[in-house]
Amino acid sequence: MKFSENRIYIDQELCTGCKRCSQVCPVDAIEGKQGEPQSVNTDRCVLCGQCIQICSAYASAFDQDIAPREQKLSERKLLPSVKEPLFAAYNEGKAPEVKAALADKELYKMVQCAPAVRVAIAEEFELPLGSLSPGKLAAALRMLGFNSIYDTNFTADLTIMEEGNELIQRLENNGVLPMFTSCCPAWVKYVEQEYPELIPHLSSCKSPMQMAGAMFKTYGAQVAGIDAEKIYSAAVMPCTCKSFEAARPEMNSSGYRDVDAVITTRELAHLIKDAGINFADLPDESFDAPLGTYSGAGNIFCATGGVTEAALRTAYEVIAKEPIPNVDLEFVRGTDGVRTAVVGAGDIELKIAIVSGLKNAVSVLDSIKAGKTDLHFVEVMTCPGGCINGGGQPKLLLPADRAVASEYRSASTYIHDSSIEYRKSHDNPEIKKLYNNYLGKPLGDKSHHLLHTKYTARR
Amino acid sequence: MNTFIMANPQKCIGCKACEIACAVAHLDVSVSTAGATALPFIPRMNLVRTPYITMPIQCRQCDDAPCANICAEGAIIHRNGINIVDDDKCIGCKKCMVACPFGMIDIRPKISNGELESQNGLRIQTAEGEQAKEVFVTYKCDLCSGRKGGPACIEVCPAGAFTTMDHSQIITDIRKKRLAAALDIANNQKK
């Protein structure tokens, strides 16, 4: 099967061959000798973008024999107005394409933002690391000209409804266990290429971004009273692999390509600057109902352990048939590469593993392959700490700031969670409405068609 | 004798983290992310790459400094053991740039209070009319004078390639060499 050209590039003119990227690459995809420009093995690469985050080989004012900046910006598909230094490792942008779509009056522009964007984008406007800015983010998107300011957090709640019920179904019907989370596209690609025999463990749920894509051009079109053909569906993600996911050929269950373009947090900052919007001074605005209403559970997807915590807040109540005693499940939070927990719900003891950083998944996967675990649920986030430290997030210039940013972005994520009226995905009133008015029930026929997917062994 | 910073080409991996840390340390605004500033990146050191070695080159803080001695404006002064440029006196004449035997003086736009400073008199003539022209000044390593944590390049280097060369360190090294030389001569005489 031919997948898209979405990939990670290393600029041969800029790479000095220091090989620090190969130290953070979780899949040994970076090839080349020390001191020579490196290249990316696209079969192995999972497009997590950690190499982009660590790369310090930038186009310096001292470099005379390199292509002009204008040419590099154009090759990287970045806006010509971008002022930041250019580094050797990069992903191709989509901001010029989104800018053109925003100017197209024939299109109805819908946008979604991943939870991690609101705890990091302010950093690109000289605000403190980890500043929480969902209100400014919504305001900026509206000023840019998007017609519906929707949210990936809404479909994170929807993911919990589907994935939580899928887990319960697997538990009740002796299904394949442990079930793996499927919201991280780099993790999914990794399983497909390195552990294809474990594909049945992956939840069949699409990622929140792809669920949103499928809902925009169906339910969203119905709500807006417009033809789905006119909808331009954009996603703002902390991730360099989401472009790859959106381009997977099966991601067209709305009858169209579900997500037309994915831009990173950094590229949204470029668009905001390009439009002359003063982000730091924007008033707080809201995301639009119905597909932009979210619970705290949907918001914590971006931190390691967050998907698990959100799932438990719902699964506990479905299994135990009583409210969860405390929604703040501190025991699944943390920063260790592999964390395990046992959670009692009704007469079931759920055994859970949470993996932060794809390198740490190997030991868990090997023990599952060897039949040596009795786990029920495994969450894997490719980027250490989760999506808050994704490859598309603002790039820290100094290594010492990385740990600080990670800590503050994570703290803001949970602060936001605790300040939202609804803390559990199943309490989100728009989720209830969506099931009542459109989808029917979790794992129902319509859900199956729009919200679930299949995977491809890549060897 | 002036203290200076020197990198070891055997240890340097060529990552340029030092150039970035240097540029960031000398911006007079706090910048954390690559996208946060539109200001030009102006490091006071340069990673030199050849097919055989990589090594950052920076000011040697010469004790008899050609840059200072040739400066007609007296803009390079010696303060607290470091040769420092006085931006207010520098006129961007480039004599120091040419005189520096290490090539580690550069003339770049002056940044004050997080903005590029424009000249009062000299304007740029363009098709769209006259435009402000930036002030250019001399940039050289100042050993991160006044920075908490000392020189940013040393702090950031993942390979530990930098050494602060101060008088006592050089004297200690020289004594070791003298001792080695003496022992060598003595041993040869025994044979």
Does some domain include residue B113?
yes
**Inter-chain touch A123–B24, beta carbons under 8 Å:** no
What helix, strand, coil percent values describe chain B, rounded to 5? 25, 25, 45
- Best A56, A78, A388 residue to mutate vs chain B (most B CBs within 10 Å): A56
Q: Is the pLDDT of residue A16 over 60?
A: yes
User: What integer pLDDT is reported at residue A159 of this predicted model?
Assistant: 97
Q: Is the pLDDT of residue A389 over 50?
A: yes
Report ipTM for this prediction: 0.90
CB-based contact, A249 to chain B, within 8 Å: no
Nearest to A35 among B35, B38, B54 (CB): B54
User: What integer pLDDT is reported at residue B97 of this predicted model?
Assistant: 96
The mean of the pLDDT values for chain B is 94
Nearest to A401 among B32, B38, B42 (CB): B32
Nearest to residue A163, comparing CAs of A281, A301, A26?
A: A301
CB-based contact, B109 to chain A, within 8 Å: no
Nearest-CA distance A71 → chain B (Å): 18
A305-333 pLDDT per residue, tens? 999 999 999 999 999 999 999 999 999 99
Provide the pLDDT confidence category of residue A5 given band limits of 50, 70 and 90. low
From chain B, pick out residues whose CB is under 8 angstroms from the CB of A66: none
Domains identified in chain B, total number? 1
- Best A51, A398, A407, A408 residue to mutate vs chain B (most B CBs within 10 Å): A398
Q: Which two tokens stand for residue A95?
A: 């901001």
Q: Is the pLDDT of residue B37 over 90?
A: no
A328-374 pLDDT per residue, tens? 999 999 999 999 999 998 888 999 999 999 999 999 999 999 999 99
CB-based contact, A247 to chain B, within 8 Å: no
Q: Is the pLDDT of residue A188 over 90?
A: yes
**Inter-chain touch A84–B47, beta carbons under 8 Å:** no
Q: Which of A123, A245, A267, A309 is catalytic?
A: A245
Q: Is the pLDDT of residue A39 over 50?
A: yes
From chain A, pick out residues whose CB is under 8 angstroms from the CB of B38: 83-84
Encode chain A in three state secondary structure: CCCCCCCEEECCCCCCCCCHHHHHCCCCCEECCCCCCCEECCCCCCCCCHHHHHCCCECCCCCCCCCCHHHHHHHCCCCCCCCCCCECEEECCCHHHHHHHHCCCCCEEEEEECHHHHHCHHHHHCCCCCCCCHHHHHHHHHHHCCCEECCHHHHHHHHHHHHHHHHHHHHHCCCCCCEECCCCHHHHHHHHHHCHHHHHHECCECCHHHHHHHHHHHHHHHHHCCCHHHEEEEEEECCCCHHHHHCCCCCCCCCCCCCCEEEEHHHHHHHHHHCCCCHHHCCCCCCCCCCCCCCHHHHHHHCCCHHHHHHHHHHHHHHHCCCCCCCCCHHHCCCCCEEEEEEEECCEEEEEEEEECHHHHHHHHHHHHCCCCCCCEEEEECCCCCHHHCCCCCCECCCHHHHHHHHHHHHHHHHHHHHCCCCCHHHCHHHHHHHHHHHCCCCCHHHHHHHECCCCCCC
Question: How much is the average pLDDT of A247-274?
Answer: 97
User: What integer pLDDT is reported at residue A347 of this predicted model?
Assistant: 86
Question: How much is the average pLDDT of A122-133?
Answer: 97
Does some domain include residue B182?
no
Q: Is the pLDDT of residue B79 over 60?
A: yes
Nearest-CA distance A248 → chain B (Å): 30
| Residue bearing the bigger pLDDT, B190 or A285 | A285
CB-based contact, A83 to chain B, within 8 Å: yes
CATH of residue B36's domain is 3.30.70.20
Question: How much is the average pLDDT of A109-134?
Answer: 97
**Inter-chain touch A397–B32, beta carbons under 8 Å:** yes
CB-based contact, A124 to chain B, within 8 Å: yes
User: What integer pLDDT is reported at residue B38 of this predicted model?
Assistant: 86
Q: Which domains does chain A have, with CATH numbers?
A: 1-91 (3.30.70.20), 148-451 (3.40.950.10)
User: What integer pLDDT is reported at residue A284 of this predicted model?
Assistant: 97
Nearest-CA distance B172 → chain A (Å): 32
Does some domain include residue B134?
yes
Report the share of chain A in percent with pLDDT over 70: 99
Q: Is the pLDDT of residue A1 over 50?
A: no
Question: How much is the average pLDDT of B74-97?
Answer: 95
Question: How much is the average pLDDT of A51-57?
Answer: 98
CB-based contact, A405 to chain B, within 8 Å: yes
Does some domain include residue B15?
yes
Nearest-CA distance A436 → chain B (Å): 44
Does some domain include residue B45?
yes
What domain range includes position B84? 4-165
Active site residue A229: no
The mean of the pLDDT values for chain A is 96
User: What integer pLDDT is reported at residue A312 of this predicted model?
Assistant: 94
Does some domain include residue B36?
yes
Active site residue A387: yes
Q: Is the pLDDT of residue A4 over 60?
A: no
CB-based contact, B9 to chain A, within 8 Å: no
**Inter-chain touch A129–B42, beta carbons under 8 Å:** no
Q: Is the pLDDT of residue A8 over 50?
A: yes
CB-based contact, A16 to chain B, within 8 Å: yes
Report the share of chain A in percent with pLDDT over 90: 96
Q: Is the pLDDT of residue A25 over 70?
A: yes
Does some domain include residue B41?
yes
Question: How much is the average pLDDT of B71-93?
Answer: 95
Provide the pLDDT confidence category of residue B52 given band limits of 50, 70 and 90. confident
CB-based contact, A166 to chain B, within 8 Å: no
**Inter-chain touch B37–A83, beta carbons under 8 Å:** yes
CB-based contact, B3 to chain A, within 8 Å: no
Nearest to A20 among B15, B36, B40 (CB): B15
Q: Is the pLDDT of residue A3 over 50?
A: no
Q: Is the pLDDT of residue A277 over 50?
A: yes
**Inter-chain touch A396–B35, beta carbons under 8 Å:** no
Question: How much is the average pLDDT of A86-106?
Answer: 97
Nearest-CA distance B86 → chain A (Å): 23
